[in-house]
Amino acid sequence: MRQSLHFVVTILALGAACKSSGTEPPPPPPSGRLSATPPWLSIEAGDSITGDTVRLTLYPDTGAAVPGGSVTWSSSDTTVARVSTTGLVRGRKPGVTTIQGVAVNASASLRITVTDPVLVGAGDIGTCASTNDEATAKLLDSLSGTVFTAGDNDYRDATPQPAYGVCFDSTWGRHKWRVRPAPGDDDSLSGYFQYFGAAAHGPAGYYSYDLGTWHVIVLNSAVAVDSTQVRWLRADLAAHPALCTIAISHRPRFSSGNAGNSSGQGAFFEALDDAGAELILDGNDHDYERFAPQDPDQTPDADGLVEIVVGTGGKSHGRINTPLAANSVVQNADTYGVLRLVLHPTGYDWRFYPVEGRTFTDAGSGTCH
């Protein structure tokens, strides 16, 4: 009995000693949330037009944002992405990393995916007659990358007729800083060159640039195709013998849409095919249509050019006519949306993103040749 009593007293004494020595469990770490600007959880690696950056802001559960300089930032994999002392995240190579921000009154983490360079966009866009272009602009809000347009950027379809750029600027204009445009036949070229400025490369309207390991060519099919532009195209292809090449134009060479095939674009298609280009993106017809790889004479060819018509920016819907154009494999004429391409060193992934409320999509992968 004495031994048991001694044991109880000892335990009580130890408990009292712990309390008196102040070794209570530490309080739980502060919680919070991270907000990204732009609101992208996927960014590009390396140098690109978008700058490959997203800025993170730490918020406590209640109250105002924590000043960036008062946060201790870290990346779980600095070979994928680094974060500066002010919360600026820059992609370095494809992969996934977790960014953590810790402050006295808040702590949170966010998973960031880093990809190869991205092209995202559509054609036949800016309208003042509906909100369809706002719906496609909202898709861009959440998608990083260089934004392409495939012509007919601004329709000026209001009364009285607004200045060129007003309809586009009210929606897609918030992404103008990362747009590489192509002109269309419904664009006022003088207004187009003025609105887009240096990015439009006037007065010719055709130009090229590199995005990662890819060579990107923007053509001017808003005007009649002439020998000057074709010679430039062939010279540009010869000067940039990249493994992977993509072109963006307005008028499609082949189409099952309202405008149908455009023989005038044949010289572009032939030059690109001769150089072994992978893709050409078009608009003009207000629909989505993807073609299997083919030669200029429409002979199926695994090493031929893939054409994708993506006139789905928001102006209006067209229709798909039958019989279909040869080698047409996917068609849709009732869904607005944008096409996103991830440009890998030896291939590409594509996915069509529909606007909210629609379900049509198209996705896959291809290799460069």
3-class SS of residue 140: helix
Residue 2 has pLDDT above 50, yes or no: no
Q: Which two tokens stand for residue 313?
A: 């920016």
* Chain-centre distance for alpha carbon 193: 23
| Contact criterion met (CB below 8 Å) for 280 and 248 | yes
Q: What is the pLDDT of residue 177?
A: 94
Residue 70 has pLDDT above 90, yes or no: yes
What value does the mean pLDDT of the chain take? 92
Residue type (1 letter), 293? P
Q: Identify the CATH homologous superfamily for domain 118-367.
A: Metallo-dependent phosphatases (3.60.21.10)
Q: How confident is the model at residue 4 (pLDDT cuts 50, 70, 90)?
A: very low
Alpha carbons 110 and 35: distance in angstroms, whole number: 9
| Contact criterion met (CB below 8 Å) for 44 and 147 | no
Say how many C-beta atoms besides its own lie within 10 A of residue 237's C-beta: 21
Q: Which two tokens stand for residue 294?
A: 């083919």
With a CB cutoff of 8 Å and minimum separation 6, the contacts of 267 are 225, 230
pLDDT digits (tens, 9 = 90+) for 5-25: 343 333 333 344 444 445 677
Q: What is the pLDDT of residue 247?
A: 98
Distances (CA, A) of 51 to 75, 92, 297: 19, 11, 40
Q: What is the pLDDT of residue 30?
A: 81
Burial of 91 (C-beta count, 10 Å sphere; 0-12/13-18/19+)? buried
Q: Where are the domains of the chain?
A: 32-115, 118-367
Q: Name the residue with higher pLDDT: 10 or 49.
A: 49
Say how many C-beta atoms besides its own lie within 10 A of residue 23's C-beta: 9
β-bridge mates for residue 289, sequence order: 309, 331
Q: What is the pLDDT of residue 10?
A: 39
Mean local confidence (pLDDT), 146-164? 95
Q: How confident is the model at residue 270 (pLDDT cuts 50, 70, 90)?
A: very high
pLDDT digits (tens, 9 = 90+) for 327-359: 999 999 999 999 999 999 999 999 999 999 999
Q: Where are the alpha helices (DSSP H) in 122-204?
A: 132-141, 166-169, 189-196
Instruction: Specify the pTM.
Output: 0.89
Residue 111 has pLDDT above 50, yes or no: yes
pLDDT digits (tens, 9 = 90+) for 189-212: 999 999 999 999 999 999 999 999
Q: What is the pLDDT of residue 13?
A: 38
Say how many C-beta atoms besides its own lie within 10 A of residue 277's C-beta: 23
**Residue 271 host element (H or E):** helix 266-274
**Residue 212 host element (H or E):** none
| Contact criterion met (CB below 8 Å) for 335 and 287 | no
Q: What is the pLDDT of residue 49?
A: 62
What angle (nearest 5°) sits at the alpha carbon of residue 244, between those of residues 340 and 289?
A: 40
pLDDT digits (tens, 9 = 90+) for 215-253: 999 999 999 899 999 999 999 999 999 999 999 999 999
Alpha carbons 34 and 19: distance in angstroms, whole number: 37
| Region 32-115: CATH code | 2.60.40.1080
Q: Residue holding tokens 């802001």?
A: 57
Residue 149 has pLDDT above 90, yes or no: yes
